[in-house]
């Protein structure tokens, strides 16, 4: 399924379930033209409650709807939004405490610098980063090097094919600095292990992308 085109996915599911667009609109308490407008792209992304109601009436189990909406379409529930915000707040609070502790230790070191110069240097060498964050960064840097090696290998051996690949990857990555939508698209696409998809699923995704680029 397409990550960005929720309406087209709804049309495919609705058609399979043999439910009319007006009927589905009425079931979710919307105007009769709502689903039709959604499927034609006139409504880009509905709010979470509306999307949830649509999926429920398309016979999805309620326990699977939240993950489906988030993983395939980046439609977040209020609970997920609150949870993510709390995670950020917790990290910021922890980081602030670490910095305050470091500054406090350095101030104490300054008070006794003449008497204990070696102790002062020891305090200055304290690592400001969290251990788990340091390990995470190290792991990501190692994988980044592996990615570079794989790209370099393919560039050297498949230069003509990889010319467009590198150009397009470069364009998307650079655009993420200013375009949050592209950032969300990139994150949403690659937060799943695409290598585990079946041959049919990979074909369907490529077909969808090609249709979107027309």
Q: pLDDT (tens digit, 0 to 9) for every residue of the chain, 214 residues total?
A: 343 478 888 999 999 999 999 999 999 999 999 999 999 888 878 899 999 999 999 988 888 888 888 888 888 888 888 887 888 778 877 777 777 777 777 666 555 444 444 454 444 444 445 676 777 788 888 888 888 888 887 777 777 777 888 888 888 888 888 888 888 888 888 888 888 888 888 888 888 877 877 6
* Cβ–Cβ < 8 Å for 6, 45: yes
* Cβ–Cβ < 8 Å for 208, 2: yes
**For residue 175, what are its two tokens?**
């655009």
The DSSP annotation for 102-141 comes to: HHHHHHHHHHTTTT-HHHHHHHHT---S-HHHHHHHHHHH
**For residue 148, what are its two tokens?**
């570079």
Rounded to whole angstroms, how far apart are CA atoms 151 and 63? 40
The whole model's pTM is what? 0.43
Tell me the torsion sign for CA atoms 10, 13, 15, 17.
Answer: negative
Superfamily of domain 6-76: lambda repressor-like DNA-binding domains (1.10.260.40)
**SS3 readout for 54-97:** HHHHCCCCHHHHHHHHHHHHCCCCHHHHHHHHHHHHHHHHHHHH
CA-wise closest residue to 52 among 81, 73, 31, 32: 73
Rounded to whole angstroms, how far apart are CA atoms 77 and 47? 9
* Cβ–Cβ < 8 Å for 76, 48: yes
pLDDT of residue 28: 94
**For residue 107, what are its two tokens?**
């101030």
Torsion of the alpha carbons at 165, 171, 175 and 180, rounded to the nearest 10: -20
């Amino acid at each position: 399924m397409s990550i960005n085109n929720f309406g087209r996915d709804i049309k495919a599911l609705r058609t399979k379930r043999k439910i009319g667009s007006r009927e589905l609109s009425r079931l979710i308490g919307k105007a009769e033209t709502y689903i039709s407008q959604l499927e034609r792209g006139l409504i880009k992304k509905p709010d979470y409650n509306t999307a949830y109601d649509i999926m429920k009436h398309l016979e999805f189990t309620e326990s699977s709807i939240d993950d489906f909406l988030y993983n395939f379409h980046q439609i977040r529930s209020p609970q997920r939004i609150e949870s993510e915000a709390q995670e950020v707040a917790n990290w910021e609070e922890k980081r602030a405490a670490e910095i305050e502790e470091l500054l406090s230790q350095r101030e104490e070191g300054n008070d006794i610098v003449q008497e204990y110069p070696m102790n002062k240097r020891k305090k200055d060498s304290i690592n400001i980063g969290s251990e788990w964050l340091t390990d995470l960064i190290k792991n990501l840097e190692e994988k980044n090097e592996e990615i570079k090696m794989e790209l370099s290998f393919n560039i050297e051996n498949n230069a003509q094919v990889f010319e467009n690949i590198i150009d397009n990857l470069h364009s998307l990555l650079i655009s993420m600095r200013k375009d949050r939508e592209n950032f969300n698209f990139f994150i949403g696409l690659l937060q799943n292990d695409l290598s585990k998809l079946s041959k049919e699923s990979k074909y369907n995704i490529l077909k969808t992308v090609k249709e979107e680029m027309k």
